[in-house]
Structure 1
Amino acid sequence: HAYDKKNFLTTTNFFNQKYLKNKTKYIFFLMDDTFGFENDFDEQNEDQFNSFATGSLRDSTLFLVDCSSSMFAKAQSEDKTLFEKCMKAIQNMYQQKIYGSDKDFLGIVFFGTEQNNTSEDFPHIYTLQDLDQPSAERIKEIEKFSLNFDFKNFRQDYGNSNDFSLDKVFWWCSNMFSSITQKLDTRRIMLFTRRDHPHENDKTLEKLAKNKSKDLYDIGIILEVVPVVLEGEKFDYSKFYADALMLSEEDIKILPDPAENFEELEKTVRSKDHKRRPYTHLNLEFDSNLSISCSVFNLVRECAKPSKIKLDKKTNVETKTVTRRFNPDTGEILFASDTKLALDIFGKRIAFEQDEIKSIKRFGNPGLKLIGFKDLKTIKPYMYVKPGHFLYPDEKLIEGSTTLFRALLDKCLEKEKYALCEMITRVNTPSRLVALYPQQEQIEEKTQIVPPGFHVLFLPFADDIRQIDRVVETRKNPEVVELFTKCINKLKFKYSPENFKNPALQKLWFEIEAIALAREETEHVEDLTLPDFSRIEKRAGPFLDQIISELRLPDRPAQAKTKRKTDESGGVLIKKNKNDEDLDVVSEAKAGRLGKQTVAKLKEFMKEQKIVAKGSKKDDLIREINAYLGLS
């Protein structure tokens, strides 16, 4: 609120009479004019708020590895057995957890072994690692199986056996989860196996295993099967795992290709693992008598470097920071009751009680209040203030929220309107104006690609918009404008943030990994944010030379004009993006090696070239690509 000088002086006199003439002596600490609001929008405090809102929850994953004789086969073109590839994939997931979510619990259990370290009631089961947080020592233990693997030593230490019972295996995994005293958000078992019908010759064991898998589902343990097969092999879920996992025929059809699924697991992803949990829960109030409950999610947030920890130089023990306040005149230690917060305005020092500070910062209860509706076209790019949220109905708190939320979404999409609301995320947070921007659900091949809901876009206040009166007039050269237009069109590409890793973070993770695992060299970090001069020269080189000539600019450096190899696409125009450096689909197709590429990469190529897919199987995609390139 804005006050005139008379009102301000009246307020100042009131505070002087109430506080400054009081006989009690206080030490005043000056506040800035934000009244402590600067921390309310600090994204770095978001983790603390999330842990407060959702509780200190952790995910837990138990890797269950089949060690029967069939897992130690290997393809003719490969050096590693299926078992070694499984352990390498598990090692990568351990490393990914260290980067992304080091508080989660991971464990490894072998089954189908001759030896066991559990008990007589659970034969042919060997617990390699109990459920615990990932560490460098645990990763080094896994490396013994993924690097320089010796099958003779494995048979001597663990052995192989086909006389296991999945019923007992699932039972043992359930016991391991029960032994964890911390509160777990999710409990998951990832089963690596080559056998699609483990108890083919024993119907009793098959029935017991299916019943036990359903018991796992009832107590909230998620069972996932990762098929590990040789090239050309099929994994038939219908023989056993369709019943164990309670999968319908439609579910089986949309399951990913086993080779593609396992190939993704073999990749090490060094990135922060953001939990898919709501940022907070808020009620959307239409009026005083009608409201629905919604969950608020963060779609984008900056991935910062991990916080530094200060250690004692001699003992390596983590130090603690203690802050104490002293009276500058007497050196006496001050307690909270001896201090007050004050603000200097026009030479006057105004002191505040804690209750008054809280009342100044409080604008209402957390929630969303509907103000009205406006046209979608009134949202302008310059109105961007900060990353927004995503709103989704929450049926658990208020029954019927989903129905009303869906009706509101459909009408906003139909009328091309957005809902203007006042938003207070939590207590002592200033209210903000937000736009609930509707999003239509998108489904491809019976899979949801884009969820329905509202994007919560923060809108600026009048104080946030700068008024720029001075407009510089420039002379327009139509020929240069046309050249720039052609140049821009040539340099356009489909941008996706998922294709660009933060090079600073990647380098940090590589260095930490090398130190923790005692490696002499670190992996090379490829910086994809740097411009690709070869592509720029190939696509827009002539236009850039013409622009330089028209504007009489200095010549470009010689490195930008290096010669490039001619396109080998046989006259077919192929669009490429930055991810295609290691994959030339055209040359792979000519060499007849498309079968070794993943379905995801083939689909991405077809999407870039606008090739219509007539099927979802890999064979169908290969057939369409070959036909497009004239190779069929």
Structure 2
Amino acid sequence: MDIEDDPDYDIFRDDEDDPDAQASRESDSTKEYVVYLVDASPKMFNTTCPSSQQEEENNEKEAESHFQIALSSISHSLKAQIINKSYDQVAICFFNTKEKKNLQDLNGVYVFNVADRDYLDRPTARLIKEFDNLEESFSKNIGSQHVMPGTRENPLYNAIWVAQALLRKGSAKMVDKRILLFTNEDDPFGHVRGAIKSDMTRTTLQRAKDTQDLGVTIELLPLSCPNEMFDVSKFYADLVGLEGDDIVNFMASVGNKLEDMKDQLRKRMFTKRRVNKFKFTLVDGVSIELNSYALIRPTVPGTITWLDSITNRPLKVMNVLTLTYKQSIFYVTA
């Protein structure tokens, strides 16, 4: 059995400090491809929910809309990935939009991106900067819309299809693929009735199942206020595969305060750090390798690093000292 037993071995070191981990990072099975799927219907903009702090201050601060909460949570996650030097790749997709932007040219779906970046790619400083300013221009450049009653237009179906296509690259055996769905609408087909509703429900659930059969996990992040509980049993229980007690447990978790959303998302995106590697040799040419991970790690203050908005590489800072002597100016760099 081979084991890393160096007395100077730091069990809390980062993977990037480990030469073995660095060499195999690209093929690490913990690498993730994530599509953030955000409902952009008018209800997401019109529904607000104050935080507990705001309630204590008698609503002196303006309450956040569900759309703002979703964007803030995603932005927080993207920044954490850059800080952690994550090799995960992400895409940001909105549905129930007026404008459309996706490879399939499907209505009601808009994939947000910036120049010099693939739809599904590592987050960049430029992506985060423009994403943080997206809310101001969203209504003008992308737009939000209701699905008209009686129509067969199905933005949710289209969105899952687009997300599935974005996650085609990479093997599901080597990469964890996930769709994180933000919405406050527990009955996406409540505007239609009869056979049309049954058909739209069936086709959407089938699209979700086809996506999951390809190794993609669909996770629901519902948004609800205390006076409007999100009822997962209306539709999404079938979409994400909840049954029996799972529905009850999920419904109980929905009642958590919305300010916990960022923390929940941060925990889901947290990258495990390897502590030790064990290699058991059974017979010649046959061995088993096990990795152990640190579940609790110390937190140390981070350092401020200026990054290039496109390449994400650290910028070199040059200090210039100006000296004046007898009307002559000297520049000294350090």
- TM bucket (normalised to shorter chain) is 0.5 to 0.7
Q: Distance in 2 between matches of 1:141 and 1:114?
A: 20
Tell me how far 1:507 sits from its aligned partner.
Answer: 3.3
- Deviation sequence 1:279-319 (CA, Å, 0-9, x none): 45536x7xx9xxx9976332339xxxxxxxxxxxxxxxxxx
| RMSD (Å) for aligned C-alpha atoms | 3.7
Mapping of 1:87-102 within 5 angstroms? 87-102=71-86
Name the residue aligned to 1:82. 66
1:157 maps to 141
Q: Are the counterparts in 1 of residues 275 and 293 from structure 2 also a CA contact under 8 Å?
A: no
Q: CA deviation at 1:259?
A: 5.1
CA contact (8 A) 1:111 1:124 kept: yes
Q: Offset of 1:264 from its aligned partner?
A: 3.1
Instruction: Name structure 1 gaps, 5 residues minimum.
Output: 1-36, 302-496, 519-632
1:24-61 CA-partner distances (Å, limit 9, x unpaired)? xxxxxxxxxxxxx9979755687443466786232111
- Preserved contact between residue 99 and residue 110 of structure 2 (Cα < 8 Å): yes
| 1:299 aligned partner, one-letter code | Y
Instruction: After superposition, give the CA deviation of every residue in 1:93-152 in whole Å (9 maximum; x if it has no partner).
Output: 00111123421101100100010012675111000032111121111112114xxx43xx
Is 1:67 paired with 2:40? yes
- Which residue number in structure 1 is paired with residue 180 of structure 2? 190
Long gaps (5+) in structure 2: 51-58, 114-118, 148-153, 310-334
The one of 265, 272, 293 equivalent to 2:261 is 265
What does residue 219 of structure 2 align with?
A: 224
Deviations 1:185-225 (A, max 9, x none): 10100000001111232221111110111111111000000
Partner of 1:138 in structure 2? 127
- 2:232 counterpart (237, 249, 252): 237
State whether residues 63 and 108 of structure 1, in contact with CA within 8 Å, keep that contact through their aligned partners in structure 2: yes
Question: CA offset at residue 244 of structure 1?
Answer: 0.8
Identical amino acids, percent of aligned pairs? 22
- C-alpha displacement of 1:258: 2.5
**1:208–1:96 distance in 2 versus 1, CA, 3 Å:** same
Q: Kindly tell me: are residues 233 and 47 of structure 1, through their superposed partners in 2, closer, same or farther at Cα, counting changes over 3 Å?
A: farther
Q: TM-score, normalised by structure 2?
A: 0.68
Mapped contact 1:223–1:245 kept (Cα < 8 A): yes
CA distance in 1, matches of 2:277, 2:133: 40
Cα 1:251–1:281, aligned 2, differ >3 Å: closer, same or farther? farther
Give the aligned residue type for 1:143.
D
Residue 225 of structure 2 aligns to a residue whose secondary structure is coil
Read off the aligned partner of 2:248 and give its amino acid letter: K
| TM value normalised by structure 1 | 0.38
8 Å contact 1:140–1:517 — kept in the other structure? no
2:261 is aligned with what amino acid? L
1:127 counterpart letter in structure 2: V
Give the structure 1 partner of residue 320 of structure 2. Answer: none
Distance 1:131 1:264 in 2: 27
Q: What amino acid does structure 1 have at the position aligned with 2:32?
A: D
Separation in 2 of the partners of 1:276 and 1:203? 48
Task: Output one character per residue of 1:60-104: Cα deviation in whole Å (capped at 9) or x when no partner.
Answer: 111000000100022364432110111000000001111234211
Secondary structure of residue in 2 paired with 1:131: coil
Residues 410-449 of structure 1: matches in 2 within 5 Å? none
Identify the residue that residue 168 of structure 2 maps to in structure 1.
178
Render the CA deviation track for 1:226-245: whole Å, top value 9, x for unaligned. 00122332111111111111
One-letter amino acid of the structure 2 residue matched with residue 273 of structure 1? T
Picking from 118, 123, 126, the partner of 2:110 is 126
- Residues 269 and 158 (structure 1), Cα distance of their counterparts in 2 relative to 1, 3 Å cut: closer
Say whether the 8 Å CA contact 1:67–1:160 is kept in structure 2: yes
Q: Distance in 2 between matches of 1:85 and 1:247?
A: 25
Write the letter of the residue equivalent to 1:252.
I
CA distance in 1, matches of 2:146, 2:9: 57
Over 3 Å counting, the alpha-carbon distance change for 1:250 and 1:86 in structure 2 is same
Q: 1:276 to 1:187 in 2, by over 3 A?
A: farther
Rounded Cα–Cα distance in structure 2 between residues aligned with 1:240 and 1:252? 11
**What is the distance in 2 between the residues matched to 1:277 and 1:239?**
44
For the pair shown, the structure with the greater C-alpha radius of gyration is 1
- Change beyond 3 A, Cα 1:67–1:38: closer
Higher relative contact order (CA 8 A, sep 6+): 2
Contact 2:274 2:294 in 1 (8 A): no
Match of 1:108 among 61, 73, 92: 92
- 1:93–1:265 CA contact under 8 A, matched in 2: no
1:507 alignment counterpart = 302
Q: Distance in 2 between matches of 1:125 and 1:208?
A: 17
Where does residue 544 of structure 1 map in the other structure?
Answer: none
The answer for the alignment partner of 2:244 in structure 1 is: 249
Are the aligned partners of 2:38 and 2:183 in contact in 1 as well (CA < 8 Å)?
Answer: yes
2 CA distance for matches of 1:293 and 1:48?
Answer: 21
After superposition, where does 1:458-473 map in structure 2 within 5 Å? Answer: none
Aligned to 1:483: none
Does the 8 Å CA contact 1:188/1:222 hold for their aligned counterparts?
A: yes
Between the aligned partners of 1:118 and 1:55, the Cα distance in structure 2 is: 27
